[in-house]
Amino acid sequence: NSTDAAKRRAAVWAAAQIEDGMAVGLGTGSTSALVIEEVGRRVAEGLRIKAIATSEASQKLALEWKIPMSDFAHLPQLDMTIDGADEVQEGTLYLIKGHGGALLREKIVAMASKKLIIAVDPRKLVKTLGAVFALPVEVVPFGYETTIRRLEDLGFESELRVTDEGKPYVTDGQHYIVHCKLPQVGFDAYEAAAKLKGTVGVVEHGLFLGMASKVVIGGLEGIEVLEA
C-alpha cells in the first residue's frame, strides 16, 4: 500500500547514503527492515561494510541478507546509523522511538554513530511530541509497580506494555516497557528527559533529542530530506 511504498522509498534513499568501508548501525522496525533488505542487496553487489544491529530481530534479518555483522569490541564508533521513528517533531527533529521495543540498544548505537539518519513515512511527522504515540520508557522489572507510581507522580499517565497474552513485554535487554502519555501543552522535552533519567527504576526512554542528523520522508511522488 502507499505507506509501504513511502517507507521503501525512504529506506532506499537512506541505504544509498552508505559508502564503501563504512561501519553502519542498523535500526529496528518495519522501515528499518526495508533498509536492511536494501543494504543486503548492495552488499550482494559488492558494498563492503561492517554493521551492528539495534535488536536481535534486526541482527537475524541482517545475517539472512549476509551483511557482515560486528560488535562494539571491534567497532568502537560507527560512521552512520539508519533507523526509523514513531514520531518526528517538525522543526526540532526531536524523535519518539521505542514502539518497536528496541529503544535501549537503538539509543546506544545512535550515540556511538557520527550520523543518525531517520527514515520515515509521512504519517510520522507531528507538530508536538506525543500527539499520536505514548512515550516508551524502559524500566527494570524488579519493583516496576513502584517505578510506574514514580512516573505517575511526575505527571505521566503510565501503562505497562503487555503482550497479546497479557504478559509484560520483555525487551532484548530483559527489561519491561512502560508507555507514558506526554502532556500536549507546556511540555519541555529536555526537562522531561532529565526527569525520566533521574527516576529510580528507569533504564532509558524513547525521547531522542538533538540526535537525528537527517530525516528522510518517503512521499507518494518522491522523498523529502530534513536536516537538523
9 near ligand DER (CB under 6 A): no
The yes-or-no answer on residue 106 being catalytic is: yes
**Does the protein bind ligand DER through residue 8 (CB under 6 A)?**
no
Beta strands in 27-175 (DSSP E): 50-53, 80-83, 87-89, 95-96, 116-120, 125-126, 135-139, 157-160
Residue 218 interacts with ligand DER (CB under 6 A): yes or no = no
Choosing from 38, 106, 138, 204, the catalytic residue is: 106
Q: For residues 24-48, b (16+ Cβ closer than 10 Å) or e, as one string?
A: bbbbbbebbbbbbbbbbebbeeebe
Q: Which is nearer to ligand DER, 55 or 147 (CB)?
A: 55
SS3 content of the chain, % helix, strand, coil (to 5): 30, 25, 45
94/82 Cα distance (integer angstroms): 15
Residues 41, 35: Cα–Cα separation, whole Å: 10
Q: Which helix (H) or strand (E) holds 144?
A: helix 144-153
Site membership for ligand DER, residue 137 (CB under 6 A) = no
Q: Nearest distance from residue 204's CB to ligand DER, in Å?
A: 12
Q: Which residues contact 62 (CB under 8 A, 6 or more apart)?
A: 26, 36, 39, 40, 51, 53, 69
218 is in an annotated binding site: no
Q: For ligand DER, which is the closer residue by CB, 150 or 212?
A: 212
- How far apart CA 152 and CA 159 sit, in angstroms, is 10
**Restricting to residues 29-58, which ones interact with ligand DER according to CB under 6 A?**
29-32
Contact pattern for ligand DER over residues 75 through 114, marking x by CB under 6 A: --------xxxx----------xxxx-x---x--------
| Residue 205 engages ligand DER in binding (rule: CB under 6 A) | no
Please, which residue, 42 or 97, has the CB nearer to ligand DER? 97
Closer to ligand DER by CB, 31 or 59: give it.
31
What positions carry a catalytic annotation? Answer: 106
The residues binding ligand DER (CB under 6 A) are 27-32, 83-86, 97-100, 102, 106
Annotated binding site for substrate: 28-31, 83-86, 97-100, 124
